[in-house]
Amino acid sequence: MKLELVETKKQAKEFVQFPLDLYKKNPYYVPQFFSDELKVIDPKNRETEKYYLEAYLVRDDNGKVLGRVAAVLHKQYNELYKAKTVRFSRLDFVDNIEVVKLLMWGGVEEFAKRYDTEKIMGPMGVIDQDREGLLIEGFNDISTFSLNFNYDYYFKHLKECGYLVDAEWDEWQIFPDTIDVPRFERMSKAVLKRYNLHMVTKGSTKKIINEYKYKIFDFINETYGHLYGYVPVTHEDVDRLVKSFSIALKKDYLCIVLDENNEVAAFGLTIPAISHAVNKCQGKMNLKGIFSLLHNISHPKFLELLLIGVKDKYKQGGLPFVIFNHIMAIAKKKKIKYAETNAQLKTNTEIHKLFEHFNPKKVRERVALYKNI
């Protein structure tokens, strides 16, 4: 076996293709879009103002790829938190500890030593809205599009390489059928009236997204700063995210609440789940894949709760409830059986308490890992 640095477009394609081969017959794995990933891994794009990235492959003696990983020196994160860290990202491998040692010890850790860093953390992305965390429980449910699936042996092998748990998340299903729509609607109207707030209702999906996308993510930068590993997103990041999710963004599932000055007070961003379609087309947007996606969006099996944010001064006043009421009422109207959250930190007791209104069922757990060097 040998470790090699990704330096050509051909190697970058092999890097992006590897998990598609590794999980080819797995019904729970949801790949990222091939073209989007290729842009990140392309050697021409590996250095930006925010980060420097190197990607590695491990091959057997016959040239077959056995594993991959990206090492990221996140300059923005290190400057913001006065830290000396390196992230590992896009880690996938066959069930072989020697492959993992080459990837982590020979790839990521040697990279970290070259830049005089003190801590390795991951799996994490190059921006906060990228996939993060390692799945440790819930291997028999299809993943959401926003989060990664991995085999159960990943955690075992990373622990053998000296990695320890740094953060823990849960993922939940919540059920629209549990809500009393008239009662919840009355409560929501009362909260909006109490604080002189109003919801954005006019305009097409495209118009609303274009008008509020930067305001929403500026708001996220303000309210998400305390979360694990968070780094502010730029407007360029926002454009990339909106493009990635544009096909699934629908006005019905977008809730924006404004104050009397038309500033964002809260928002909820939800999409019809596209996991099954992306699994089926393996992240490649050919004609068949597009039709499958459109069918899933029109007839979703569940909803995916992407992002939710509420200004601190409204959190105790019931405004989070308004967001969830809107989303769940729409889901119930459309006869969608459940909505699935993305990863919620175990320490986020506020959101866990809110979920209690919707008969929550925990479906997955994931962790972030670290190693001091």
pLDDT in tens, 191-236: 899 889 998 888 888 888 888 888 888 888 887 767 787 888 788 8
Specify whether 124 is located in the same domain as 191: no
Q: 193: helix, coil or strand?
A: helix
Specify whether 149 is located in the same domain as 194: no
Specify whether 23 is located in the same domain as 109: yes
Of 143, 59, 128, residue with least CA distance to 94:
59
Of 117, 95, 114, 91, residue with least CA distance to 104:
91
DSSP structure class, residue 86: E
- Segment 55-63 shows an average pLDDT of 96
Domain boundary, last residue among 128, 147, 169: 169
Residue 371, in any domain of the structure: no
Give me Rg for the CA atoms of the chain.
21
- Segment 339-366 shows an average pLDDT of 84
> Are 253 and 270 within 8 A, CB to CB?
yes
Cα separation, 304 vs 288, whole angstroms: 23
The residue assigned the tokens 């998990």 is 19
Provide the percentage of residues in the chain whose pLDDT is more than 90: 39
More confident residue, 243 or 215: 215
For residue 16, give both structure tokens. 């992006």
Specify whether 219 is located in the same domain as 156: no
Q: 224: helix, coil or strand?
A: coil
- For 92-159, give the DSSP string: EE-S-HHHHHIIIIIIIHHHHHHTT-SEEEES--SSTTS---EEEE-TTSPPPTTS----THHHHHHH
Residue 50, in any domain of the structure: yes
Domain boundary, last residue among 128, 144, 169: 169
Cα separation, 75 vs 91, whole angstroms: 20
Q: For residue 331, which amino acid is it?
A: A
For residue 309, give both structure tokens. 């944010």
Q: How far apart are the first and last CA of the chain?
A: 25
Find the range with the poorest average confidence among 15-24, 167-176, 198-207.
Answer: 198-207
Cα separation, 258 vs 354, whole angstroms: 21
Say whether pLDDT at 70 is over 90.
yes
Of 101, 75, 99, residue with least CA distance to 87:
75
Crossing angle between the packed helical segments 235-245 and 205-223, to the nearest 10 degrees: 130
- Distances, alpha carbon 359 to alpha carbons 173, 188, 315, 336, 338, in Å: 8, 19, 21, 15, 10
What predicted TM-score, i.e. pTM, was given to this entire model? Answer: 0.88
126-150 confidence digits (pLDDT tens): 877 778 899 999 999 888 888 899 9
Q: What is the mean pLDDT of the chain?
A: 87
Residue 309, in any domain of the structure: yes
**Neighbour tally for 70: CB within 10 Å:** 25
Instruction: Work out the pLDDT band at 276, boundaries 50, 70, 90.
Output: confident
Residue 211, in any domain of the structure: yes
Residue 136, in any domain of the structure: yes
- Number of helices (H) and strands (E), helices first, in the chain? 13, 14
Q: Name the residue range of residue 244's domain.
A: 173-365
Specify whether 198 is located in the same domain as 339: yes
Specify whether 158 is located in the same domain as 181: no
Residue 8, in any domain of the structure: yes
Specify whether 155 is located in the same domain as 16: yes
Specify whether 17 is located in the same domain as 47: yes
Residue 370, in any domain of the structure: no
Looking at residue 312, its pLDDT comes to 80
Instruction: Work out the pLDDT band at 289, boundaries 50, 70, 90.
Output: low
For residue 175, give both structure tokens. 């059920």
Specify whether 107 is located in the same domain as 158: yes
Looking at residue 27, its pLDDT comes to 92
Looking at residue 48, its pLDDT comes to 84
- Segment 270-291 shows an average pLDDT of 75
Instruction: Please report the sign of the dihedral spanned by the C-alpha atoms of residue 345, residue 346, residue 349, residue 352.
Output: positive
Looking at residue 133, its pLDDT comes to 94
Say whether pLDDT at 241 is over 80.
no
Q: How many domains does the chain have?
A: 2
Residue 372, in any domain of the structure: no
Specify whether 185 is located in the same domain as 323: yes
Specify whether 345 is located in the same domain as 200: yes
Cα separation, 130 vs 116, whole angstroms: 25
Provide the percentage of residues in the chain whose pLDDT is more than 70: 97
Specify whether 289 is located in the same domain as 230: yes
Instruction: Work out the pLDDT band at 288, boundaries 50, 70, 90.
Output: low
89-128 confidence digits (pLDDT tens): 999 999 999 999 999 999 999 999 999 999 999 999 887 7
- Helix, strand, coil: what percent of the chain each, to 5? 45, 25, 30
Cα separation, 147 vs 318, whole angstroms: 28
Looking at residue 158, its pLDDT comes to 98
CATH number assigned to the domain comprising residue 241: 3.40.630.30
